[in-house]
């Protein structure tokens, strides 16, 4: 999702050792189609050549408080009003102090005082500065004024020490901005999503599983969270990292999927995306099974998570399932919709270039009245399209 597209962001770069990283930030924001204006404080040029900023931006930067533009508008008033947000990155301890105390001794601080727009800071400083009580007090003051703080990370600092104070990774800053601008239409709703494969243990070295990567479930969880839902993701083993605002519960077996799915009721939205094995081993062996004893393995059916949630006395307002098939996709999915008692079901045919081993999905969307064919698209777009349908559902409610 790109909630930053066409947004106008005024970037204030302050003079610190991390100033050069703002060039990468500009580049990443341009990739997101953000309209950027840039103010450089007077010490920035001690770290980075101003020409580097202007070459990248394709326009002039701003630094002089008393300059007049071609229309005789005072630049600080125009800059203050003609943006969706003001981002200070990096934000030094000195500039943080100026903001907290209402200083107005240069263009950047005048713009901040003259603006009622969203304000975001990404601090970067020495670890002793970051933990200093004065800095902490300034941060507390700014948070009370609804300034978003993108907290620095722990790592090796320019001064050679290791500790907190390192500028948040540029990719993470962009992700945080994307979330800040995301529509919070699902605020107040709780969503539970299952994702990934189950792993059914046979003995200490073997298990039953499948080729699910978990990508579709993670994209759906991230999308719901971006739209404001409190999102819990119950995940089998994957190599994917969920968004920071998604609560992840790691599980292995179908039994654990069921336990945590029921345990997280009541909720408003339940989406069963996980590829949970239909079968489990009746009795897991303590020791490795030898080849000649393979016939001793007995299988048992796993409890159906989607069906259990749909029939539960605390059934969510909206229950959605996924149906992965290799043949008779529409017929089998319609049957599942009825048998499992869910409200909607998304059918996807498992092929070499679709579903499990792909970053794309070809979906047939079933509700209780009709089937809708969706074009093949990235799983991220499938997640966004489904989220928008969920938004419409709750608007009608």
State the helix-helix crossing angle for 379-396 and 215-226, rounded to 10 degrees.
Answer: 40
* CA separation for the pair 67, 73 (Å, rounded): 9
CA distances from 208 to 4, 122, 272, 382 (A): 42, 46, 20, 28
Q: 22-48 burial, b if ≥16 CB within 10 A, otherwise e?
A: bbebbebbeebebbbbbbbbeebbebb
What lies within 8 Å, CB to CB, of 298 at 6+ separation is: 281, 282, 283
Strand order in the sheet with 230-235: 246-250, 230-235, 190-195, 269-272, 318-325, 344-349, 363-366, 371-373
159 an active-site residue? Answer: yes
Tell me how far apart the alpha carbons of residues 151 and 123 are, in angstroms, rounded to a whole number.
7
Tell me how far apart the 2 most distant CA atoms of the chain are, in Å.
Answer: 90
Q: Which residue from 369, 368, 254 is spatially nearest to 320, judged by alpha carbons?
A: 368
The answer to whether 310 touches 334, Cβ cutoff 8 Å, is no
Three-state DSSP state, 158:
coil
SS3 103: coil
Q: In the structure encoding, which two tokens stand for residue 22, read together?
A: 């703002």
| Helices and strands of the chain, counted as H and E runs | 13, 21
What is the rounded CA–CA span in Å between residue 237 and residue 88? 38
Three-state SS sequence of 282-303: CCCCCCCCCHHHHHHCCEEECC
SS3 at position 249:
strand
Name the catalytic one among 83, 159, 267, 342.
Answer: 159
Catalytic residue list: 159
């Amino acid at each position: 999702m790109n909630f930053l597209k066409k947004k106008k962001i005024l970037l204030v770069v302050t003079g610190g050792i991390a100033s050069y990283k703002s060039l990468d930030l500009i580049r990443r924001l341009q990739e997101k189609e953000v309209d950027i204006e840039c103010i450089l404080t007077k010490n920035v040029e001690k770290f980075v050549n101003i020409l580097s900023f202007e070459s990248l931006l394709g326009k002039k930067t701003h630094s002089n408080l008393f300059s007049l533009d071609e229309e005789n508008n005072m630049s600080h008033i125009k800059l203050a009003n003609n943006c969706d947000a003001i981002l200070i990155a990096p934000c030094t301890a000195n500039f943080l102090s100026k903001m907290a105390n209402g200083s107005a001794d240069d263009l950047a601080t005048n713009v901040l005082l003259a603006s009622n727009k969203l304000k975001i800071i990404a601090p970067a400083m020495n670890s002793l500065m970051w933990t200093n009580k004065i800095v902490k007090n300034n941060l507390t003051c700014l948070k009370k004024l609804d300034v978003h703080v993108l907290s620095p990370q722990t790592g090796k600092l320019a001064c050679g020490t290791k500790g907190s104070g390192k500028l948040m990774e540029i990719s993470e800053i962009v992700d945080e901005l994307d979330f800040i601008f995301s529509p919070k239409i699902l605020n107040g709703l709780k969503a539970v999503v299952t994702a990934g494969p189950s792993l059914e243990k046979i003995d200490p070295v073997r298990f039953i599983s499948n080729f699910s990567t978990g990508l579709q479930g993670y994209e759906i969880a991230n999308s719901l969270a971006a739209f404001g839902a409190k999102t819990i993701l119950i995940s089998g083993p994957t190599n994917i990292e969920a968004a920071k605002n998604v609560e992840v519960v790691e599980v292995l077996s179908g039994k654990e999927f069921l336990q945590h799915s029921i345990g997280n009721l009541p909720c408003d939205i339940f989406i069963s995306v996980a590829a949970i094995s239909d079968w489990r081993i009746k009795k897991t062996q303590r020791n490795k099974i030898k080849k000649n004893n393979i016939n001793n393995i007995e299988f048992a059916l796993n409890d159906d998570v989607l069906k259990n949630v749909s029939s539960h006395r605390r059934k969510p307002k909206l229950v959605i399932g996924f149906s992965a098939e290799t043949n008779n996709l529409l017929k089998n999915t319609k049957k599942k919709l009825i048998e499992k008692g869910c409200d909607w079901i998304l059918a996807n045919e498992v092929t070499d270039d679709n579903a499990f081993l792909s970053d794309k999905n070809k979906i047939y969307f079933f509700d209780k009245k009709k089937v809708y064919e969706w074009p093949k698209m990235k799983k991220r777009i499938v997640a966004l399209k489904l989220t928008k349908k969920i938004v419409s559902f709750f608007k009608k409610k």
